Each structure stands twice: as structure tokens, then as C-alpha cells.
């Protein structure tokens, strides 16, 4: 399905150096903010108190969050429904000099003042050790995804494409983390899940473009490498717009209507999708070109050596 077809190839690779320079600057800024500001980690990573409370009627999360914030907690304290609209989970960060039991009593006092019918179902303290395990597990998951992508692309296409794709995907991941570090948005397990989802989403776009590059190498033997890449990217423009617009519409609906519990998850996906389009076109394809990908890397010749009179000499499959 195509909304439109561009007849003349757009010379993307003519400006590859400029786009790669922009990518490098953006990447460097993201790394700088990560080291200078750091991530604002959620309770899952830093440790804290988790409360589960129940209301006699559907809870108004805005009022619950306001009551908790009035006790001196940050406005981004996690308050969300779980199970039903009457059940609420509250995640509180660690406070110096205040025990988990004292935090629970303070919060329940504030909630009962607003609604006497609220009851405490469960309270649990999440220690820093659990947070360290989650960080380790998250990094291991990220490493496994990266290794899997490289192996997959190396076998399906060529190792140069594998290297190009993983650089482009890491570019997306680091920029997402850079945004969260710069604005000090809360980095939770949901955001980590979004980052891993962006990796898979971005590599899918890269695979589509790489497949078109291989197809163009087979079909247009007189084209140079940068002309082949330009043609491959141009021929996927309609598909890219349809796919990403549809996905972004769903993500934006979560961002604007999903409430606080889905806000940062959707925000990470939004940043990842936008930069995923950019990196697949201007980073992955350009790096593959800089690495010297050529027709011989993707198309095996069937010509028999020493037979210059063969009418099929130079044919490819």
C-alpha cells in the first residue's frame, strides 16, 4: 500500500556528512547530560515504600497525588491504579530519618483526611539491593538485545549492516536517556521497557531499508553505492510515513489520555520513534556507506572464471 510514489530519487547521501555531524553533536550532548545530571531513578531502582490502598468507590488519582504531595513528596510521586479503579498503588521514595512504617502512617493519615473510607491493603519496603538487581537485569537485557541484533543482521545481510544498525540504535537509546537526564524526568521500569521497545522498532525500519538496498544492488547494476542507497530510502518513504504515523498516533493517545502512569512510557516511545526514523535513514544507511558496503557484499556472482565468451558473464543471483 502506498499513498504516493516519488519518481526521482532524493539525494539523501549527498548530505550524509552533515546529518552525521548533527547526530554526533546530539549524541555527545546526551552523553554529557547523562554524566553531569544523571537519571532521576524511580523507586524501583533507588528503593522506597510501596503502598496498596483500596477505596469504596473509583479513586480520583489527582486528589490522591495531591494529598501525598502535600506531605512534602515530589509532584512526580507514582500514584496509579492496579487491578480495578478502586485500587491504588503509591510508590514513595526513601526519606532520611523516616522509616517505612512512619511513611505509611503519614500517607494513610492524609488519605483518610480526604476520604475516611480508604483502607490500607499492603505496605512493602523495596530495598536498594532490589534496585541494583533491576539495574543489572536491565543492562543485561539491553546487551542481549544488541548482540542479537548484530548477529541477526550479520547473517541476513552483511556485518557492515549489523555494525551500522547497532550504532544507529544505540544512538536512539542514548538520546532518549539524554532527554530524561536533561529534563530530570523519572526513569522507571516502564521507561526501560519503552527503551527496549524502541530498539526493536528502530531495527525494523533499518532492516526494511537494508533489504531495499540489497534489492537495488541486484536490479540496478550501473548505480553507485550512494545512488543505490538514495533509491532504497526514497522507495520506502511512503511505507515509512504510513507506518510511523500510525504508530505515533497510538503513542500520542497514550501520552495525552493515558494518565500519569503511562506518561513517561509514552514520552520515551515518542522520542524513540522520531529519532528512530532519523537514525534509520541518516545514520544507519550512511554508516553502512562509510564502512564501504558494495554490491559484491550482498550479491554473489555466478560467472565462471576463465570464460569471457559466456553471454551470462557477470550475471548475479
Q: For 122-150, how does the pLDDT look when each residue is reduced to its tens digit (9 = 90+)?
A: 888 876 665 677 777 777 877 887 788 77
- Cα of 165 vs its chain's centroid, Å: 14
Question: What are the start and end residues of each CATH 1.20.1640.10 domain in the chain?
Answer: 12-39+130-298
pLDDT in tens, 13-44: 888 888 888 889 999 999 999 999 988 887 77
pLDDT in the model for residue 176: 94
Rounded to an integer, the average pLDDT of 215-225 is 87
In the predicted model, is pLDDT for residue 307 greater than 60?
Answer: no
DSSP E strands in the chain: the ranges are 40-41, 48-54, 78-82, 84-93, 119-126, 186-187
Q: Alpha-carbon distance 52 to 80, whole Å?
A: 10
Find the length of the chain.
Answer: 317
In the predicted model, is pLDDT for residue 55 greater than 70?
Answer: yes
pLDDT in the model for residue 268: 94
pLDDT in the model for residue 295: 81
Q: Which fold has domain 12-39+130-298?
A: Multidrug efflux transporter AcrB transmembrane fold (1.20.1640)
pLDDT in the model for residue 144: 84
Q: Alpha-carbon distance 111 to 65, whole Å?
A: 10
pLDDT in the model for residue 317: 40
pLDDT in the model for residue 46: 76
Q: Which fold has domain 48-126?
A: Alpha-Beta Plaits (3.30.70)
Percent of the chain beyond pLDDT 70?
90
The region of weakest confidence among 24-28, 252-256, 281-285 is 281-285
The region of weakest confidence among 42-46, 195-199, 299-303 is 299-303
Alpha-helix residue ranges (DSSP H) falling in the chain: 16-36, 43-46, 61-69, 100-114, 128-156, 159-183, 189-219, 225-235, 237-257, 260-278, 285-290, 295-298
Beta carbons of 317 and 302 less than 8 angstroms apart: yes
pLDDT in the model for residue 312: 43
Question: What are the start and end residues of each CATH 3.30.70.3400 domain in the chain?
Answer: 48-126
Rounded to an integer, the average pLDDT of 224-249 is 88
Q: Alpha-carbon distance 75 to 156, whole Å?
A: 48
In the predicted model, is pLDDT for residue 251 greater than 90?
Answer: yes
CA dihedral of residues 137, 143, 147, 153 (deg, nearest 10): 110
Q: Alpha-carbon distance 250 to 263, whole Å?
A: 13
CA angle 201, 80, 117 (to 5 degrees): 165
pLDDT in the model for residue 270: 93
* Of residues 239 and 260, more confidently modeled: 239
User: From the CB of residue 237, how many other CB atoms can be counted at a distance below 10 Å?
Assistant: 16
Amino acid at each position: 500500500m502506498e499513498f504516493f510514489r516519488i519518481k526521482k530519487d532524493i539525494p539523501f547521501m549527498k548530505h550524509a556528512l552533515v546529518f552525521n555531524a548533527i547526530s554526533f553533536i546530539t549524541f555527545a550532548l546526551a552523553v554529557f547530560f547523562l554524566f553531569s545530571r544523571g537519571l532521576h531513578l524511580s523507586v524501583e531502582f533507588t528503593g522506597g515504600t510501596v503502598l496498596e490502598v483500596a477505596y469504596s468507590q473509583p479513586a480520583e488519582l489527582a486528589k490522591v497525588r495531591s494529598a501525598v504531595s502535600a506531605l512534602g513528596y515530589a509532584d512526580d510521586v507514582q500514584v496509579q491504579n492496579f487491578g480495578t479503579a478502586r485500587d491504588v498503588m503509591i510508590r514513595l521514595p526513601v526519606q532520611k530519618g523516616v522509616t517505612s512504617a512512619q511513611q505509611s502512617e503519614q500517607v494513610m493519615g492524609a488519605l483518610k483526611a480526604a476520604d475516611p473510607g480508604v483502607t490500607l491493603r499492603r505496605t512493602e519496603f523495596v530495598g536498594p539491593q532490589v534496585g541494583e538487581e533491576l539495574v543489572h537485569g536491565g543492562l543485561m537485557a539491553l546487551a542481549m538485545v544488541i548482540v542479537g541484533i548484530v548477529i541477526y543482521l550479520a547473517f541476513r545481510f552483511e556485518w557492515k549492516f549489523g555494525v551500522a544498525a547497532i550504532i544507529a540504535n544505540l544512538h536512539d537509546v542514548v538520546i532518549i536517556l539524554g532527554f530524561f537526564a536533561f529534563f530530570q524526568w523519572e526513569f522507571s521500569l516502564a521507561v526501560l521497557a519503552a527503551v527496549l521497545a524502541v530498539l526493536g522498532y528502530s531495527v525494523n525500519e533499518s532492516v526494511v531499508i537494508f533489504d531495499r538496498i540489497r534489492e537495488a544492488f541486484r536490479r540496478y547494476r550501473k548505480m553507485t553505492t550512494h545512488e543505490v542507497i538514495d533509491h532504497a530510502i526514497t522507495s520506502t518513504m511512503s511505507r515509512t510515513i504510513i507506518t510511523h504515523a500510525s504508530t505515533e498516533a497510538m503513542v500520542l493517545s497514550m501520552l495525552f489520555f493515558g494518565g500519569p502512569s503511562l506518561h513517561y512510557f509514552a514520552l520515551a516511545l515518542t522520542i524513540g520513534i522520531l529519532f528512530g526514523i532519523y537514525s534509520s535513514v541518516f545514520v544507519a544507511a550512511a554508516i553502512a556507506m562509510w564502512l564501504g558496503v558494495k554490491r559484491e557484499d550482498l550479491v554473489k556472482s555466478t560467472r565462471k572464471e576463465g570464460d569471457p565468451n559466456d553471454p551470462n558473464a557477470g550475471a548475479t543471483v
